[in-house]
Chains A and B, each alone.
Chain A
Amino acid sequence: MLEIRNLHASVGGKEILRGIDLKVNAGEVHAIMGPNGSGKSTLALVLAGRETYMVTAGEVIYEGKNLLKMAPEDRAREGIFMAFQYPVEIPGLNSMTFLKAALNSIRKHRGLEELDAMDFLDLAREKMKLVDMGEDLMKRPVNEGFSGGEKKRNEILQMAVLEPKLAILDETDSGLDIDALKVVANGVNALRSEDRGMILVTHYQRLLNYIVPDYVHVLFNGAIVKSGGKELALELEAKGYAWIEEEVREACRVDLQEGGHAA
């Protein structure tokens, strides 16, 4: 459903993504791990359509369409959802008003009838239970004064309501206690299905105890330097990233000796 080919992106003239290749098929869960500043959020934001990041080379095909040509709202309507690492606060904008407007714009795009206030409330209540979120939270403005954990739950709630085809979760597990982590995992697992794809950006192997990925990729300095099965996550947890770094350097040296170009 998603194919990323040789994706390069930069911000403020600084290259951050340096040739990413990744293919996600429907039904698959991909975990992306990597040290701080390696470009994980940048990749997620580029896929969601954040314009501050300039794509300088490569392409992204989503369900046969050129994703990079689409506006962020069109990507969302076509089924892409990104849970932000740092969700923004919007003082004054009621959470329910916002989520209802979002859902209806997506439903409209899918040729479904828009939900009225009552039906929406029923749906929202059901999903709030799923992520163990109090109703009072949704009566407040979007993320305003929410704790870190509450913001993350709100992202999962939005995902549960909007039912995306491709979900990209950017460190939704960071900063959560074990109970909150289980809640997030439940939300994700509830959505997992044959026709949905997922990309989980995470720092910690911990999340992968609850959401078992099909593939694990290591992002390093703007490129995927290693891919494997779920056991790769355990290896990373045990050994840290240093050995990967070592491997990458080794590869470069070999490359240079052979007269090739270092990435």
Chain B
Amino acid sequence: MGITGERENYLSDFARFEKDISKNGQSWFGEIRRKAISRFAELGFPTTRHEEWKYTSVAPITKIHFNPCGYELNGLTVEKVRRAAFGELECSRLVFVNGYYSAELSSYRPLPGAVHLGSLAVALSTHRELMGPHLARYASYEEHAFTALNTALMRDGAFVNIPDGKVVEEPIHLLFLSTAGREPTVSHSRNLIVVGKNSQATIVESYVGLGESVYFTNVVTEVVLGENSVVEHVRLQRESRKAFHIATLQVHQSRSSTFSGHSVSVGGALVRNDVNAVLDGEGVDCTLNGLYLVKGQQHVDNHTRIDHVRPHGTSRELYKGILDEQSSGVFNGKVVVWKDAQKTDAKQTNKNLLLSENAEINSKPQLEILADDVKCTHGTTVGQIEEEQLFYLRSRGLDREIAQGLLTQVFAGETIGRIKIEAIRTGLEEILLTQFQKDKKHGETVQ
């Protein structure tokens, strides 16, 4: 089936879907959905001729006919949910199964008054006034085909709304589990996180595949930071090794706000993570850290874009990659400093560790500077495990594999170590450890 053919499939999905949702009080959003689907019809899926998709072919996605998912527990229990990610973390946990909110698996802890936390599907009907000003206002469905598709077909996800002046101490965990069966399925999850003036929150998003099936996650998250707010955001991608994962994280920051994002990507067959931050206020602080760890035939593409729109903004970016076997990766980090954004201080670093001769990384930093009084630096490194360090560890009695694992962990630790909440850090360290140790063995499951 050709690319056009697959585009048709999504269009007819939309026609069916539209009838479905017309009954449930979401009609206010219907107009945007229709705009988005017609934009998708125009754009079609990107090809490698597209500058932003040069090293990542989505042809495998377009060749498969994915059906919309259903809510299926497939033997999923609370215990398995805990084991999927950050089980030890004291937090409110919103669980989604194949993209649908699961009331039975979710659990809530006490939250400050007026904080809203729940299913986006429900909120679309009940919280129009809170969502209306934000939903689909930041992630551009005009420019990006997958965002357009998500905007048209979004069914569920999380809506988090923190009013002005609220400090939410405990993290909020949004856990997306896939129990997909034999038929290839797709889910277009959508999250909206709005944090008010002087407020503070920690959001964790995890995507975990239980099993080995082929499915497609096309997710968009919008995070909106009010003036002087502080948000720590951790994203863990641990889909099944056969899954396709296309994600956009769109961050919009107002004056004096602080965003720290950490993106950890270990699963999936074909993965694309877009992180875009718009620093739309003076004195904004933005940190984007990332870690990608791939092996086998995995391909992971991290695209980040930071727009410094106003003066006195600071951005810090550190992405690290560990690539083994025949895996491949892309890092494309764009920093745009607009004309008004004087006194911008931007620093971007990408470091890669190749554990095999057949692994491959394409790293491309891009600086576009239109202001004249700025400080911007970037750097990329690609290296191997240092033989001398490896020998030192082995000469003290450590196996080659263990020594290599330790050095790899140390390499990864530089990013993970920057996450402020210890329980999240240790949770990630454990996940990475199993990832390092399971070396050479494929097809693991997290059941």
Contact = CB atoms under 8 A, between A and B. Distances in A.
The answer on A and B forming one complex is: yes
A92 B411 contact: yes
B399 interface: yes
A111 to B, nearest CB: 14
B28 interface: no
A102 B389 contact: no
Interface string B381-406: 00000111101111111111011001
Interface residues of B, number: 22
A88 B392 contact: yes
Contacts of B130: none
Given A93-B410, A102-B397, 20 more contacts: A48-B395, A49-B395, A50-B391, A52-B387, A71-B394, A73-B394, A73-B398, A73-B399, A73-B400, A76-B394, A77-B397, A82-B395, A84-B392, A88-B386, A88-B388, A90-B389, A92-B410, A92-B411, A99-B396, A105-B398
Nearest to B388: A88
B436 to A, nearest CB: 14
B407 A90 contact: yes
B68 interface: no
B427 interface: no
Give the interface size bracket for A toward B.
Answer: 20 to 34
Interface in A104-148: 105-106, 109, 142
A127 to B, nearest CB: 14
Contacts, number: 69
B414 interface: yes
Interface string A72-106: 11011100011010011011110000110111011
B406 A101 contact: yes
B413 interface: yes
A13 B101 CA distance: 66
A143 to B, nearest CB: 9
Contacts of A87: 392
Contacts of A60: none
B364 to A, nearest CB: 26
Interface of A: 48-52, 71-73, 75-77, 81-82, 84, 87-88, 90-93, 98-99, 101-103, 105-106, 109, 142, 158, 162
A88 B391 CA distance: 10
Contacts of A82: 395
A228 B352 CA distance: 52
Contacts of B396: 76, 81, 98-99, 102, 158, 162
Nearest to A77: B397
Contacts of A142: 392
A157 to B, nearest CB: 12
Q: Which of B386, B396, B414 has the most CB of A within 10 A?
A: B396
Nearest to A99: B396
Cβ-closest 5 pairs across A and B: A92-B410, A76-B397, A102-B396, A72-B394, A106-B397
Nearest to A89: B389
A124 B69 CA distance: 56
